Each structure stands twice: as structure tokens, then as C-alpha cells.
Amino acid sequence: MEILEEKAMGGIHRTLLCQGPVELRRGWRRKKQHLSLFSDVLIVSNNLCKGHFKMKYVIPLSYLWMGDYVDVVGTDNRSACKSILLSWPMGNFVASFRSMEQKDWWYFYLQRYFTSICILIPWWYRNIGMVV
């Protein structure tokens, strides 16, 4: 795990849990992006190049919802088993990973966060969720 400098992250101490390339889909549009999961936020950025990237979204994990992606239309079953639906109040997308193992790791890390935070926050005050 990598711990970032407080100056680089706006004075907040964050631990990098997982990062990797992903293909994000909204409707028929597809874009290759990079996900970085920190201890309190999920950052969506353009592809990592020489250690620099441009942040597209900074999503607090307390507002994130996730679930397994199911292709209702039935056009692409191969990518459905490698995809996770991520949603938050300002938008949503389907994140398709390169392999099922990579998807399982991301699902594990996100699910672990949801489980740990559900213990700390009373049920009537939760903004987070997991759709199974």
C-alpha cells in the first residue's frame, strides 16, 4: 500500500488500496480510464502516463453504490462477468475490467469498505449501499 503525502492530497492523509486500468461505459460510449481507490475516495482519471494523470471524478466512498452488472439487452455477456456498476448521486457508469480476477479484487476492496463502514454508521443515516 502506498501512503501519499498530505500536501499532494489537500492536507488529508489517504492510503492507496487499489489502482488499475478500466473501461468505463455510459450507454454506448466507452472510455479507457484509470481507477484509484483510496481509504476514503475513489478517483477516476485519464490513463496513467509517466506518473501524471488528470482527475475526472473524485467520489467520496460514503456516497458510492455498487453492484454486479447485468446486461439486460443481452448483447455482450463476456463483459458482463467482468463488470461492476458504480453509482453516486451525480452520475453512474459501468466499469469493465480486463479479467474476472481483477473485477473480483475491486469488488472485494469496495465490499470490505462497505462492511466496515456499516458497523460504524447507524442504519438510518447511511448514504452508502451495495446492490447485489
The grid coordinates of residue 94 equal: 459501468
What is this structure's pTM?
0.73
Q: Identify which of 23, 15, 26 has the alpha carbon closest to the alpha carbon of residue 109.
A: 15
Domains and their CATH numbers in the chain = 19-131 (2.30.29.30)
Radius of gyration of the chain (CA): 15
Average pLDDT over residues 75-84: 72
DSSP state of 58: E
Q: Name every residue whose Cβ is closer than 8 Å to that of residue 31 and which is 6 or more positions away in sequence.
A: 23, 24
**What are the E-state strand segments in the chain?**
2-3, 15-26, 29-38, 41-45, 55-60, 65-68, 83-88, 91-96, 129-131
The grid coordinates of residue 58 equal: 473524485
Summarize the chain as % helix, strand, coil (round to 5): 25, 40, 35
The pLDDT mean for the chain works out to 75
Greater pLDDT, 84 or 79: 84
The pLDDT value given to residue 29: 86
Average pLDDT over residues 14-23: 87
- pLDDT at 76 exceeding the cut of 70: no
